Amino acid sequence: MKILVCISHVPDTTSKINFTEGDSKFDTNGVQYVINPNDEFGLTRAMWFKEKQGASVDVVNVGGAETEPTLRKALAIGADNAIRVNTPATDGFSVAKQLAKVVKDGGYDLVIAGRESIDYNGGMVPGMLASMIDANFVANCINLEVDGTNAKAVREIDGGKETVSTSLPLVIAGQKGLVEESDLRIPNMRGIMMARKKPLKVVEPTDVTAETKAVSFEKPAPKGAVKLVDADNLDELVNLLHNEAKVI
């Protein structure tokens, strides 16, 4: 089985976010980047298939040269090869188009993508990719088993879970639950050293017209001031909730 894991290069959630050029451009100064968490769950599941079933695992990213350390981390975790499509990832449709070409050229059986990236939170790429390559698709996937060309997946739905049977070729949009957080892997020194020798192929993008673009960004409103009331002063608490907050 040949597996391709889609890797997004996203800001660490602890990074301080700022914008420049009239709030139209993300300020990358001082920002640390990581593997998108949903993609990391998918990569870990792919490593399970590699170790248990002898699958080959490639990783792919759409982005500039600055994303290569993130791909190298994926290689250090255990992926066999890395591919970088040399164009910025600014639009979900164009990213899906670039990935579709990589999948078709590589002849992959299973594509594992994250449900969404934590920067744009679009959640559109996996579904569009599946449609473009005419593959089956499972969204919000929290478990996956593959036996030959048959697959059984569990996905989250409103109010519960759904188990579905399908077949390869398959695209899944994975998330937390695909593996447990305790199963996520930290590259060891041997993996880091081996990653330096593994192939990282850079391919030029196919010609695609972006369907959307970010016009401006806006930070959430800052938290308002907090008034503390003594635990024994219930009359004051009721008065503030009634006359000031006007919630009762």
pTM for the whole structure: 0.88
Cis peptide before 220 (omega within 30 of 0): no
In angstroms, the CA 220 to CA 88 distance is: 25
Res 223: pLDDT: 83
Res 85: pLDDT: 98
The mean pLDDT of the chain is 94
At 226, phi and psi to the nearest 5?
A: -115, 135
In angstroms, the CA 68 to CA 166 distance is: 34
Residues in contact with 128: Cβ distance below 8 Å, sequence separation at least 6, in sequence order: 92, 93, 96
Q: What is the dihedral of CA 105, 107, 109, 112, to 10 degrees?
A: -20
Closest CA to 119 of 213, 220, 26, 22: 26
User: What digits encode the pLDDT tens for the residues 84-113?
Assistant: 999 999 899 999 999 999 999 999 999 999
At 94, phi and psi to the nearest 5?
A: -70, -35
> Are the C-beta atoms of residues 179 and 48 closer than 8 Å to each other?
yes
Q: One-letter amino acid identity for 224?
A: G
> Are the C-beta atoms of residues 133 and 103 closer than 8 Å to each other?
yes
> Are the C-beta atoms of residues 169 and 110 closer than 8 Å to each other?
yes
Residues of the chain with pLDDT below 70 are: none
Listed by start position, the domains of the chain span 2-219
Task: Return the CATH fold of 2-219.
Answer: Rossmann fold (3.40.50)
Res 139: pLDDT: 96
Q: Strands 150-157 and 160-167, how do they pair?
A: antiparallel
Residue in the block written with tokens 């739905």: 157
> Are the C-beta atoms of residues 137 and 170 closer than 8 Å to each other?
yes
Res 246: pLDDT: 87
Sign of CA dihedral 69, 192, 142, 98: positive
In angstroms, the CA 51 to CA 113 distance is: 19
Res 38: pLDDT: 96
